């Protein structure tokens, strides 16, 4: 349940649904098994697992939700094998060539014939709605996955005004200045990974891993026109992460100070353990985000 990424979105018009009301809205698009001829299905699943009915797990103003995608695995090599056999059969029995249009139709027929026999793959995507600070936090660094998640949420809730967070100062400029000045902002430690991109020139990209960020080589790249687009940081020895210039946080890792707190907390059941971890994780993220936004002079109020 511990998030590994933070895709942060700001709720513009306020979120006022109770957990029970949110559950009712999500229920209309609950997760289900793929139909016989469907390649995939996407819907809401209980965050605590299929042994539970509630599609929302609420605690202290945070509403955890979970989207589940079921896909059928039908490799193109298998389709091609059956298609080739079908084409050979026509050529041998009817003594003619199979044109491209007919072959495309045969491919479609073969695919539908194989779909009921395909293996199923399930993927889950967790998020929580922070009703106090009016954020949606999705556990992904993939914008396409986040957009798919938000499409399902809008479908379930109707109009839902959300936006990507915009900070006052350019993250590219600020992070580049930290490396040029060889000085991390207060409360943060610069770690050993960064990505630099020359956006005004040829678009060249350099990724530095396990390297001293104060090295002259890094400064030379910045002075040559490259800007930092990703930078590994640690905040107050509590959380390490990679910060992207679009304000997505990747490779999130809760360090010993937080994990020991979770370990020491009493929990007799899996549900209690989920509650404890959820409370500690959201509290930590709730403290982290204002510190991250402050690095760039806060969120743009407009």
Residue 268 has pLDDT above 90, yes or no: no
pLDDT score of 78: 82
Average pLDDT over residues 19-36: 90
Of the pLDDT bands very low, low, confident and very high (cuts 50, 70, 90), residue 80 is confident
Cβ contacts of 196 within 8 Å, gap of 6 or more: 205, 206, 207, 208, 218, 221, 222, 226, 227, 228, 229
Alpha-carbon torsion, ordered 128, 240, 298, 137, to 10 deg: -10
Domain ranges of the chain: 7-73+119-163, 76-116, 171-294
Average pLDDT over residues 35-45: 83
pLDDT score of 113: 76
Of the pLDDT bands very low, low, confident and very high (cuts 50, 70, 90), residue 19 is very high
pLDDT score of 131: 94
The residue with greater pLDDT, 93 or 36, is 93
**Residue whose token pair is 């698009």:** 29
Average pLDDT over residues 185-211: 89
Residue 280 has pLDDT above 90, yes or no: yes
Distance CA 262, CA 300 (A): 34
Tell me the backbone φ, ψ of residue 94, rounded to 5 degrees.
-110, -10
Question: What global pTM score does this model have?
Answer: 0.86
The residue with greater pLDDT, 188 or 75, is 188
Token couple for 206: 């350099």
The percentage of residues in the chain with a pLDDT greater than 70, rounded to a whole number, is 99
pLDDT score of 302: 61
């Amino acid at each position: 349940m511990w998030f590994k990424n933070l895709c942060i979105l700001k709720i513009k018009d306020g979120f006022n649904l109770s957990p029970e009301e949110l559950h009712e809205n999500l229920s209309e698009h609950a997760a289900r098994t793929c139909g016989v001829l469907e390649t995939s299905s996407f819907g809401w699943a209980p965050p605590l697992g299929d042994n539970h009915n509630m599609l929302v797990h609420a605690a202290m103003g945070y509403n955890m939700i979970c989207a589940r995608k079921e896909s059928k695995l039908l490799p193109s090599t298998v389709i091609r094998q059956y298609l080739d056999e079908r084409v050979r059969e026509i050529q041998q029995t009817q003594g003619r060539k199979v044109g491209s249009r007919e072959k495309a139709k045969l491919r479609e027929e073969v695919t539908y014939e194989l779909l009921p026999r395909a293996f199923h793959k399930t993927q889950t995507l967790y998020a929580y709605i922070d009703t106090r600070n009016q954020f949606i936090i999705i556990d992904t660094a993939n914008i396409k996955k986040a957009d798919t998640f938000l499409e399902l949420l809008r479908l379930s809730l109707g109009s839902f005004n959300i936006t990507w967070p915009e900070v006052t100062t350019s993250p590219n400029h600020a992070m580049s200045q930290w490396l040029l000045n060889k000085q991390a902002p207060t409360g943060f430690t610069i770690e050993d990974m960064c990505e630099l991109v020359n956006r005004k020139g040829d678009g060249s990209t350099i990724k530095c891993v396990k390297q001293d960020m104060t090295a002259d080589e890094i400064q030379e790249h910045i002075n040559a026109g490259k800007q930092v687009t990703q930078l590994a940081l640690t905040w107050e020895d509590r959380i390490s992460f990679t910060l992207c210039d679009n304000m997505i946080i990747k490779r999130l890792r809760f360090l010993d100070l937080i994990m020991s707190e979770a370990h020491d907390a009493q929990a007799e059941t899996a549900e209690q353990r989920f509650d404890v971890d959820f409370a500690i994780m959201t509290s930590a993220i709730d403290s982290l985000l204002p510190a991250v936004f402050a690095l760039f002079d806060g969120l743009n109020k407009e």
